[in-house]
A and B are shown apart, each in its own frame.
Chain A
């Protein structure tokens, strides 16, 4: 028997004797009716010792390309940013890694203080008053913001968003709204941006406007104007922001946003094929009691010492049950810890430099790719860290395959989400990409032309 069990035969005998049962089966038989018990063992292969498991997993891992084996220009909501060694080292400490929700504050001060520091950092990043301790990911955080807005504007049922919001976030919103009385109105993003048509769509039925800035195509939105119009109509403004971008550009709170949400993967969390990631959420002070999820707060103990506890728990499912602000229980604390360490290492200058590198390298990549005959840069206006490229030959798959064969993950094809952009792909450039790597991308995509 492989695995992690403890009991010797002697232990088992003594334990059964103390219980007063002849066997574990007897204990089970006393509760589980015979007609629902399994008559045959589970059809799952025999267990593996550690060395065999290691060789299995190494062979499976070896069959995958990744941002470690290839130069990664993929974005679309998850990015190959640099993760300092100290993040992995600290976050893998068992005291963080193998603890759980801090129900017993006295033996969870480490986690609670980290949560409080994380929440403070998120308020600093967003310019908003309060943050929760984490949600699942960017997509579900966006939905939670929509649900919060619907609850806060009771009676209103319209959610205004645009095609420049991450398509998977939009799909997630649609799924959740299916079961409740609310509808999403999606504004078509045009080459002039989306703010005019979004503003036109806002009315007295509108619960909230959801705007991503920088948007899915890397472009800047006029959040302030949208916010002004939404507020005049009594609607709530939700911004999906990029936590790296605020090193350089105005924060959601500076733009009049009421609820800011983000995918926090960029802050020290591994790509890991989409999860676990980090749903970030901050909001205006007066919305705090509508917030979903755990919140750590400061208080004092019986000796007057400063300490931290889970607070405002009457919002949560374990107290309020069907009247809770959300059903969330397990969250993404470990990922929030990683973000906290990451931001502590970066500081204001490190985050600003990271954002500057993204902008400059993205601009350089745009320049280089614009020289490839086969390619067209779709939006020429300013972008943050990604941009849309059109393949004039209309064979994005071939282009991506050519690049892949040369060791490059060149971009995210847009066809499955945007039929009108079936000949386009999205290129993301983080601070990790070197000038040589960008040159190589341009070279490989150009030589693909030569091969045609």
Chain B
């Protein structure tokens, strides 16, 4: 089935005079627009935007959509991204005009239902994390990291401590060091041992009075819960530092263990991952953060407060009229649409249900690990939490098949590829996160496909995928001679 509408760009489809949107006639007793806008501000030429009919637009974008794999259409075991099923009921409910048409500067008295949901969400996030201070403002996980590090910096400034270093694990997401750098911290890397856990001796050697925060992902990006967690957090605390928990992997531990209970002082959630907000082709997410009580006064404002039966927006001002809040990290309240979906998700499962989510995520990952370990090397043992990292290193040596080759070929079998080449601590890493919303049959089929691929002719795999509209794009040229906009020929 050929599909030419999806190969053209909207700019190439444009025909002068074609149009979709027409406004009602403008019939007001005011001067003509060119007299209302000062001459020197008026545009001299019409915008070069494409001109299309509504039918053109719909067919173009609908056809484009069919070129994507998605959770709705395919198994999407992209490690670290928690591509779980996105409930349709949440879409319907969060699209109610009573939520979606609320203006961000409305008086809180006019949005009591919305503020109730957000207030309750603050409480649930505090309960799940074991950390009582909550800000819903950050727009994504990385933004939450940045915000929390600003909170930490404000705390140390207040104490008159000049701490300049943030420690990150060598298996950490790139966002950790990038966020630390944006807050002006120097970053140093703590090594992991061959078992994938933090090298406590290396940590000790890097801990001193200059360390502000150790950013930790637990379970880590290898899908392993660090059993030394108590020792690690105590060591950092003994040196006066704080523990930041990258909440990317919260899907593994809901109701099982809490960051606040294992020593974290600050953390972010990725509600679009853990609590099923649709990923939207790259976003939106949200990045709410939770902190210990002594850090709560530094959180961005506003925070939803309850007074009797009324909800209002707190300013962060204390009794003496001063304010310790770091300030805003964005405009308006937060990514409310994503937060409401998280609220629906948590209400759907309830406390016991959330634990079941994590148990099934752990079960699914361990089951798939038990299949995959017969196909690929899994360097960190045969137990994991919600995801695991295999290595294509041996098969690369034996048959010339790299992690990238496997990723590309598995697309032909109708599966999205796992994350590859991350975390950096595993050679030829293949990072698999099945989530709890995949059946045993799907996991079996995925493992079977992987097994077949390792047996296929290397030439076939090198040139994969074969069933997609394009194959193996030239990234190098794209980067060397960037073409980042369409221009008329």
Contacts and interface: CB of A to CB of B under 8 A. Distances in A.
Nearest to B65: A95
Nearest to B328: A171
B314 interface: no
A22 interface: no
Question: Which range holds the interface residue count of chain B?
Answer: 35 or more
A78 B282 contact: no
A33 B225 CA distance: 9
A113 B64 contact: yes
Given A104-B407, A351-B47, A351-B49, A180 B184 contact: yes
B67 A100 contact: no
B404 to A, nearest CB: 10
Q: Is the interface of B mostly helix, strand, loop or mixed?
A: loop
A124 interface: yes
Contact of A263 (B44, B124, B331): B331
Contacts of B37: 248-249, 359, 382, 384
Contacts, number: 719
A114 interface: yes
B254 interface: yes
Contacts of A61: 93, 96-99, 113-114
B130 to A, nearest CB: 9
A74 interface: yes
A288 B482 CA distance: 10
A330 B282 contact: yes
Interface residues of A, number: 203
B139 A360 contact: no
A327 B172 CA distance: 13
A120 B486 contact: yes
Interface in A231-281: 246-251, 254, 263, 270-277
B57 A38 contact: no
Given A45-B351, A140-B329, A64 B9 contact: no
A99 interface: yes
Contacts of A180: 182-184
B417 interface: yes
A311 B476 CA distance: 9
B52 A345 contact: yes
Interface stretch (B84-92, B199-207, B452-460): B84-92
A109 B469 contact: yes
A62 B98 contact: yes
A154 interface: no
Contacts of B23: 350, 353-354, 357, 431
B425 to A, nearest CB: 13
Contacts of B51: 347-349
B72 A38 contact: no
B54 interface: yes
A1 interface: yes
27 contacts: A5-B437, A21-B366, A31-B385, A42-B128, A42-B351, A63-B116, A64-B111, A65-B106, A72-B103, A76-B105, A95-B65, A99-B76, A100-B282, A107-B465, A110-B68, A120-B485, A136-B139, A140-B330, A140-B331, A246-B43, A273-B103, A276-B283, A299-B474, A327-B143, A334-B283, A354-B23, A360-B30
A27 interface: yes
A113 B9 contact: yes
A246 B44 CA distance: 11
B113 A100 contact: no
Given A47-B347, A273-B336, A33 B229 contact: yes
A346 B49 contact: yes
A314 B479 CA distance: 9
A106 B38 CA distance: 49
A66 B98 contact: yes
A299 B73 contact: no
A44 B471 contact: no
B72 A95 contact: yes
A271 B103 contact: yes
